Amino acid sequence: MNEDKELKKFAKSLGISYLPDGHFKQALVHRSYLNEHADFPIGHNERLEFLGDAVLELVVTEYLFESFDNPEGELTNYRAALVNGQNLAKVARTLEVEPQLYLSKGEAQDTSEKSRNYILANSMEAIIGSLYLDFGWEESKNFIHHHIISTLPDILEKKLYIDPKSRFQEESQSRMSTTPSYKVLEESGPDHKKTFRVGAFLGKELVAEGLGTSKQEGQVEAAQNALEAKGW
């Protein structure tokens, strides 16, 4: 009963209603939790995430189509910036979703930002999926507008719809007349599961580093970290 009261309170903080027999609780259950609690009465949130992803994309697409007269390519970039994992994880942190998640002890103790962002972003999609099933299109749409589409002004102002490598190059060239370069600083792990530590350089200056499971992914993270390091 106390658990139900807590979930109802959390749902209210998100601006949504809570159905005791609905799907909201399931939206917060990570697969790992069930490995340690085989008798848990409900399933994990991955199917809800699958549904919520589609609802989110359609709501955002409809909004952008109705609000902007930009070319398709620009709208695609705006949409990608709104629905990507980094933005969804940021929203989830603002909404304090993480303390409400059902995670295994191992997942709960994992301090890797990349891993946590992935879980938080998926939980946001699952929450949207649960809203759609329990209350329908309008409730889902209101939630997405209030919490996710509301981040668009910041995305446009900071040009977050441009990928980090392009933004870092654009800023470096305009501010310093310099084109960034990237170098693999370290490779680790077995061939099938390598991790690349990549440095972003301006001339000989190592501005920031990034990690990725591919050189490209490492470069993107290094560029993002370089933008933050430079305050750009």
What amino acid positions are annotated as catalytic residues? Answer: 53, 125
DSSP H or E segment with residue 192: none
How many whole angstroms separate alpha carbon 141 and alpha carbon 170?
35
DSSP string for 57-101: HHHHHHHHHHH----HHHHHHHHHHHHSHHHHHHHHHHTT-GGG-
Binding positions for Mg(2+): 49, 122, 125
Binding positions: 49, 122, 125
How many whole angstroms separate alpha carbon 44 and alpha carbon 98?
15
Closest CA relative to residue 220, chosen from 232, 208, 230 = 208
Neighbours of 66 (CB within 10 A): 7
Return the SS3 of 40. Answer: coil
